[in-house]
Structure 1
Amino acid sequence: MDEMVLVVEDSDVDALLKGYGFIKIPLEEIKDLVEKRGFFVRRGKAEQDESLRQLIPYVVIKNKDGLYLMVRRLKAQTESRLHGFYSLGIGGHINDTDEGESPWLKFLSGMEREVNEEVDIETYDWPKYVGTIRENTTDVNKVHLGIVFTITTNIKGIKEKEKFTWELINSYDIMKRYEELESWSRLAFEAVEELKD
């Protein structure tokens, strides 16, 4: 946990976002927050310091038939507090070594890196922004801020097979496993489903 990860002060998040759960806010306001208030600290500190929020791109991927990519986190996956849960979101921490001259450019290149590291997919259009997730329900949630995007592309599989199992699944079957989804995935699923209306 010695990597340097992108964070913002929780007080700055409080000033921008009202309430908890899934919050729809213009992307420009998120960009402004990251660009002006983002900085890097050691991940070990960030995981324990509830005055900070680690910025996490959370990308929901669907195939051309509308099926969702769902993964299950195995014990080899870094975040032990989420082992065994199903997830609809691909993403992770943004590092100071990610490309870009500013925190926001590093966020964008880090999001692209995370998707390409974890999933074997064909070329895709730039991810579509959906909204943000802020929760305080678990120790993990208290120190992370999810920024949700969605991609539609052809999905070939998962690259990190030692960390995840995967499947393509429709909305109906996701609802049958709803209680087994990590909390961010529940919120992201509901938000992405609303985009279809």
Structure 2
Amino acid sequence: MQEKILVVPKESVLQKNVDFQGFRPGTDQNLWTHFAAEGLFLVRDSVEYDTRYKQLIVYLVLRHREEIFIYQRIRATGEKRLLDKYSFGLGGHINPVHSCSFRRLIASNLARELKEEVSFPGPYSYRFLGFLNDEEEEVGRYHFGLVFLVSCLSPQITVREKNKIQGKLIPVSQLEDYRDNLENWSSILLPYIPPEVGSQKSDV
């Protein structure tokens, strides 16, 4: 069965005057309402490089206390456009689920993305940070990010696909050291993450 993913028509985003460049922190109810009303599920292969649509992505920043999980796509990765780049966000498409609300749809896909990409013991919590849109870089032109900060109780975070990705926790104060090698979404988020992590002393 072909994978279906959640997209929104780019034209409708422009018409609703909710198009922007960069990161928009906080909860913009107009955007949530627009995505819930205009979103539709299409076959992934048909929209992967179709600029008429924006693919909605859950983008998860993992932390343990004042450390951030950073990872790098290595040679075996399937995403050649991001090869060797570092990122501190795990991104995943939104697939259909049996849900009675848009909020539950997002929450279900967030949990699935965590389960597929990383492994860590113990509970976690999360909160929404904001929206991310990038029209200046190739990958970003097809995607729109829903950014969440995920707080893990345990520091034992490992990637599942070790042949594709390598990752580790680093002090949030060291993120700046990776600036020149960050993929664009992480680069856009870089100024916002240290204050968010530093303001949250407890994990869950």
TM-score between the two structures when normalised by the length of structure 2: 0.85
Q: Is the 8 A contact 2:5 2:95 kept in 1?
A: yes
2:52 corresponds to which letter in structure 1?
Answer: S
CA distance in 2, matches of 1:191, 1:18: 20
- Secondary structure (helix, strand or coil) at the match of 1:179 reads helix
Structure 1 runs of 4+ with >4 Å offset: none
Deviation at 1:25, TM superposition (A): 4.7
Aligned match of 1:140: 139
Can you list the C-alpha shifts for 1:166-188, whole angstroms capped at 9, x where unaligned?
Answer: 11112332211111011111222
Q: Is the 8 A contact 1:9 1:52 kept in 2?
A: yes
1:179 corresponds to which letter in structure 2?
Answer: D
Q: How many residues align?
A: 194
Kindly indicate whether residue 4 of structure 2 is the aligned counterpart of residue 4 of structure 1: yes
Structure 2 gaps, min length 5? 200-204
Which deviates more from structure 2 when the two are superposed, residues 19-28 or residues 141-150?
19-28
Q: Is the 8 A contact 1:130 1:191 kept in 2?
A: no
- Secondary structure (helix, strand or coil) at the match of 1:114 reads helix
User: Percent identity of the aligned residues?
Assistant: 28
Q: Is the 8 A contact 1:91 1:115 kept in 2?
A: no
Instruction: Check 1:180–1:4 CA distance in 2 against 1; reply closer, same or farther (3 A cut).
Output: same
TM-score between the two structures when normalised by the length of structure 1: 0.88
Can you list the C-alpha shifts for 1:137-192, whole angstroms capped at 9, x where unaligned?
Answer: 22211010011110121232122212210111123322111110111112223222
- Secondary structure (helix, strand or coil) at the match of 2:6 reads strand
Aligned match of 1:84: 84
Structure 1 gaps, min length 5? none
- Secondary structure (helix, strand or coil) at the match of 2:174 reads helix
CA RMSD of aligned residues (A): 2.1
